Amino acid sequence: MPKTLTLFLPLSITRFIAAALICAFAWMAGGMPARAQVAVIVNGDPITVFDIEQRMRLERSGSTKPPTRDEIVNLLIDDKLKLHIAKRYNLEVTEKEVDTAFATIAQRMRATPQQFAQRLESSGIKAATLKARLKSDIAWGQMVRGKFGASLQIREKDVLAAADSRKASEKEASFDYSLRPVLLVLPRGSTEAAIEAKRREAEALRARFTNCEEGIPFVRALRDVAVRDAITRTSADLSVQLRAVIDNVETGRLTPPEVTPNGIEMFAVCGKKDSKAETPGQRKVREEMFSEQFDTHSKRFLKELRSAAMIEYRN
């Protein structure tokens, strides 16, 4: 966190500027389409009816309990406040950081960023709407970690005690896995028939692959097959689903083929050994404890920002 902070303008000047902006927006709204009209102004920064409609679609697309309009407005107000305070502390979220976060979500959805953006568009959601939310989340995460860093430190003995109390570590073991990603490349826009043919090819390759020493050079010699560098992961690094798959594969064999945006992917399990790293249960406990501390500080800090903010509701 920078030691030198950007100073606020004097309160009288801030109020004057905000009032002038409100008048300007009110004048412009008369000739605007309804959805482009300003609904809320937060410290001089507008939230439009369109912003609210877009965020509502986004939040409802991944929720079993659709949020109300008031809840959406409050989320957008919070986003504005998060970005305002981050800017005050000279924390700038780059476009690259936002694009990386967007690409990570797309990958989880088994899509490229372009494909994911198209899926959003088909649901009437602009990619920019999700990216705006990601930007405020990234900025806020940096802000809270920087301001409350010392309070967010989780002690190892607390993690072990909590994990033991849940019986999380009794039957769990931790392993180090040595993996080689293997990708059977598929052209973009391949038909279902082509994908199925490539899947059968992957199954045939999996049957022939019996050890990494001979199997890796053999696979590398095949056409349209890429073998990536070895990666090492602990049990706690892997999702529950992937860990279950790898644990059911003998060392020296390939995992079952899976369709990805770039082709058919498998992992060669080239090594598996006991690890002294934390178990998945301990990792989960640590993340839950951190999240609880983070949420406590986050809510308190956001409440302080709201109490000091100038919020004008218009629609």
Residues 18-40 have a mean pLDDT of 54
With b meaning 16 or more CB within 10 Å and e meaning fewer, what string describes 260-293?
ebebbbbbbbbbbeebeebbbbbbbbbeebeeeb
Write the pLDDT tens digit of every residue in 246-296.
888 999 999 999 988 788 999 999 998 877 767 777 777 877 888 888 999
Please, which pLDDT band fits residue 305 given cuts at 50, 70 and 90?
Answer: very high
Under 8 Å between Cβ of 275 and 187: no
Give helix 192-208 / helix 212-220 axis angle, nearest 10°. Answer: 140
Write the pLDDT tens digit of every residue in 96-128.
999 999 999 998 887 889 999 999 999 999 999
- Residue 9 clears pLDDT 90, i.e. is over it: no
- Residue 89 clears pLDDT 80, i.e. is over it: yes
Q: Residue 243 has which token pair?
A: 């860990």
pTM of the model: 0.62
Residues 58-79 have a mean pLDDT of 91
Please, which pLDDT band fits residue 35 given cuts at 50, 70 and 90?
Answer: low
pLDDT at 167 (0 to 100) = 58
pLDDT at 189 (0 to 100) = 78
Q: Under DSSP, is residue 41 helix (H, G, I), strand (E, B) or coil?
A: strand
- Residue 66 clears pLDDT 80, i.e. is over it: yes
pLDDT at 172 (0 to 100) = 63
Please, which pLDDT band fits residue 44 given cuts at 50, 70 and 90?
Answer: very high
- CA dist., res. 182 & res. 221, Å (int): 12
Please, which pLDDT band fits residue 14 given cuts at 50, 70 and 90?
Answer: very low
Second-level CATH architecture of 11-151+292-313:
Orthogonal Bundle (1.10)
The domain ranges of the chain are 11-151+292-313, 175-274
pLDDT at 141 (0 to 100) = 93
Residues 91-100 have a mean pLDDT of 94
pLDDT at 166 (0 to 100) = 66
How big is the CA angle at 177 (ends 176 and 178), to the nearest 5 degrees? 125
Would you tell me which CATH number, out of the four given (3.40.50.720, 3.40.50.450, 3.10.50.40, 3.90.230.10), belongs to the domain 175-274?
3.10.50.40
Neighbours of 181 (CB within 10 A): 15
- The identity of residue 280, as a single letter, is P
Question: Helices (DSSP H) in 166-211: which residue ranges?
Answer: 192-208
277 φ/ψ angles, rounded to the nearest 5 degrees: -70, 165
Residues 182-198 have a mean pLDDT of 89
Please, which pLDDT band fits residue 163 given cuts at 50, 70 and 90?
Answer: low
Please, which pLDDT band fits residue 164 given cuts at 50, 70 and 90?
Answer: low
Question: What is the pLDDT of the chain when averaged over all its residues?
Answer: 83
